[in-house]
Amino acid sequence: MSIVVTGATGHLGRLVIDELLAEVPADRVVAVVRDAEKASDIAARGVELRVADYSAPATLKGAFQEGDVVLLISGSEVGQRVAQHTAVIDAAMEAGVARLVYTGILGGPAADYTLGDEHKATERVLLDSGLTYTLLRNGWYTENYTTQIPVQLEHGVFGSAGEGRLGTAPRRDFAAAAAAVLTGEGHENQAYELSGDHAWTLAEYAAELSRQSGRTVAYTDLPEAAFAEVLVGAGLPAPVAAIYADCDAHGIALGLLEGGSGDLSRLIGRPTTPLADTVAEALKG
């Protein structure tokens, strides 16, 4: 039986590989990737590579084997993900995998904003498949904000989240939770709501960035349509900008991304990484 990580060259996938290799021998880990050359560093660590593409179902035929435990890291191509995820689930069913772990979105069926739609649809496909599953309903990554620090220092922080609170944690915390679920016992047919221990508002984020950088960074709260226009001006395609603005106005502002279950810290066996630590790391460059 192997532990198979799909999307293994992505930001989260690489961190999951790191966490797994700290727990199990490399010959138990398999990385499913679209481009073997981009995964050469992973292969150099003794991890088997299997080449497949979510968008090409025929390539998924050899991605899994009977008895594997599979981590399906959700795709990044909004609008295509239900078909992509369904292809992975179908291939896993055909191969007879032991369990499929899916990285969904905080709240699952309660994620009533546009970005949640494909995750909810994928969960329904997985539940209907009859596969043994584990649902990792991930909250927002703190890096969603800290990777934008150079722009934020210049122009400030913008959004439509009002006083809504975000229970974020860095990707590495979520990767550690995935590794715990992939290697541990008792996670069959369970759903975990994963969020940071301490939630914060975007105004509090701006204040923390100001404190650590020594520069004044303000949070400007905008109507949803105006925030979408700001995102388009920053280079996002209009449909993508609309989805992100909707996340603020109909997700964060309504408390749907605050979390608070404690599942993430319980799975990783420690407190989640505070916002201040991730800001400090990002400022170091």
Q: Same structural domain for residues 116 and 147?
A: no
For residue 91, count CB atoms less than 10 angstroms from its CB and return exposed for 0-12, middle for 13-18, buried for 19 or more: buried
pLDDT band at 208 (very low <50, low <70, confident <90, very high): very high
173 in any annotated domain: no
pLDDT score for 60: 96
* pTM (2 d.p.): 0.97
> 167: closest CA among 109, 227, 120, 105?
105
The DSSP 8-state label assigned to residue 248 in this structure reads I
3-state secondary structure of 220: strand
Say yes or no to pLDDT of 78 above 90. Answer: no
Lookup: tokens for 262: 């404690």
What amino acid is encoded at 11 in this protein?
H
Q: Same structural domain for residues 199 and 121?
A: no
Query: For the chain, how many structural domains are there in total?
Result: 2
Q: What is the CATH number of the domain that holds 10?
A: 3.40.50.720
Q: Same structural domain for residues 144 and 220?
A: yes
Say yes or no to pLDDT of 79 above 90. Answer: no
Q: Give the residue from 138, 156, 183 where a domain finishes.
A: 138
Lookup: tokens for 71: 């981590």
Question: What are 126-182's pLDDT values in tens digits?
Answer: 999 999 999 999 999 999 999 999 999 999 999 999 999 999 999 999 999 999 999
pLDDT band at 273 (very low <50, low <70, confident <90, very high): very high
Give the CA radius of gyration of the chain.
Answer: 19
Q: What is the CATH number of the domain that holds 241?
A: 3.90.25.10
**Residues near 75 by beta carbon (within 8 Å), at least 6 away in sequence:** 7, 54, 81, 84, 85
pLDDT band at 76 (very low <50, low <70, confident <90, very high): confident
182 in any annotated domain: no
Q: Same structural domain for residues 57 and 133?
A: yes
Question: What are 61-71's pLDDT values in tens digits?
Answer: 999 999 999 99
Domain coverage including residue 147: 139-168+194-259+270-285
48 in any annotated domain: yes
Q: Same structural domain for residues 164 and 29?
A: no
pLDDT band at 25 (very low <50, low <70, confident <90, very high): very high
**Arithmetic mean of pLDDT, 205-214:** 98
Residue 166 near residue 222, CB atoms below 8 Å:
no
Give the residues across from 5 on adjacent strands: 31, 71
Average per-residue pLDDT for the chain? 97
